[in-house]
Chains A and B, each alone.
Chain A
Amino acid sequence: GAVVSQHPSWVICKSGTSVKIECRSLDFQATTMFWYRQFPKQSLMLMATSNEGSKATYEQGVEKDKFLINHASLTLSTLTVTSAHPEDSSFYICSAGRAGYEQYFGPGTRLTVT
């Protein structure tokens, strides 16, 4: 099956700093990548959809200036949490998909902001 990786798997940063999370599709080209956020004991909430070479589409209530998404190639999307605050601490999960195929999920990145 298709493999999606995320890096780092966990990160601790200080309040006010920025953190970049990478999502890579390892053995296929993803036309679309999705970024989700998951709080403890809760389900996944879609944050944004990114397509290679175009601007990401953000879900209602997600600050696009705070969560910067770049989809530079068909195998890489990055999520940068800018000026992180403790309330941004969460489990961030990406998925990669191709038209007509299922989405493949990454293993997630746990962000802790102190």
Chain B
Amino acid sequence: TQLLEQSPQFLSIQEGENLTVYCNSSSVFSSLQWYRQEPGEGPVLLVTVVTGGEVKKLKRLTFQFGDARKDSSLHITAAQPGDTGLYLCAGPANFGNEKLTFGTGTRLTIIP
């Protein structure tokens, strides 16, 4: 079973600060996805990274896929209260498999 460990588990910071969330595994993933989930709602896909070393930017969010495709990070610049939520990384359970394994999650709170 491929496990995805996220750190930190909880993060509470002031508006305007920067932060990084990590997603680590001992297994290689063909791709990794990042989702944000708000209370009482389903997760919403933010990005998919496919190539080792890939960096993708989505406004103030920067996603990186490790060279070995075993880890990924999400960096948020100048965090805003709207960034509050549960951030989840996820990857295919097996190569070519549609099943997703979700990370342990990082609950982010941005204090106005």
**Distance (Å) between the CB of A7 and the closest chain B CB?**
13
**Chain A hits for B93, CB < 8 A:** 46
Which one of B11-19, B36-44, B52-60, B64-72 is at the interface?
B36-44
Contact indicator B88/A43 (Cβ below 8 Å): yes
Given contacts A43-B88, A43-B104, A43-B105, contact A107 B99 (CB under 8 A): no
Q: Are B42 and A103 in contact (CB under 8 A)?
A: no
| A44/B99 in contact, CB under 8 A | no
Q: B43-55 interface mask toward A, CB cutoff 8 Å, 1 = contact, 0 = none?
A: 1110010000000
Q: Are A46 and B42 in contact (CB under 8 A)?
A: no
Complex contacts, A32 vs chain B, CB 8 Å? 98
Docked CA distance A102–B49 (Å): 12
CB of A107 within 8 A of CB of B98, answer: no
B41 touches which of A36, A41, A108 (Cβ 8 Å): A108
Q: A102-B33, A102-B48 are in contact. Are A46 and B100 (CB under 8 A)?
A: yes
A residues near B35, Cβ cutoff 8 Å: 105
- Whether A43 contacts B42 by the Cβ 8 Å rule is no
* Number of interface residues, chain A, beta carbon within 8 A: 24
- In the complex, A75 has a CB within 8 A of chain B: no
Closest to A106 in B: B42
Choose one: B42, B100, B103, B104; the contact of A108 (CB below 8 Å): B42
Cα–Cα distance between A110 and B102 once the two chains are bound (Å): 20
Which residue on A lies nearest to B106, using beta carbons?
Answer: A43
Contacts beyond the supplied A107-B41, A107-B42: 12 A-B pairs with Cβ under 8 Å = A34-B98, A34-B100, A43-B88, A44-B102, A46-B93, A46-B99, A91-B40, A93-B43, A102-B48, A103-B98, A105-B35, A108-B41
User: A44 vs B105: C-alpha distance in the bound complex, in angstroms?
Assistant: 9
Contact flags A13-57 to B (C-beta < 8 A → 1, else 0) = 000000000000000000010101000011111100100000000
**Pairs A-B, 4 closest by C-beta atoms:** A105-B42, A43-B105, A44-B102, A43-B102
Closest chain B residue to A49 by CB distance?
A: B99
A44 touches B98 (CB 8 A): no
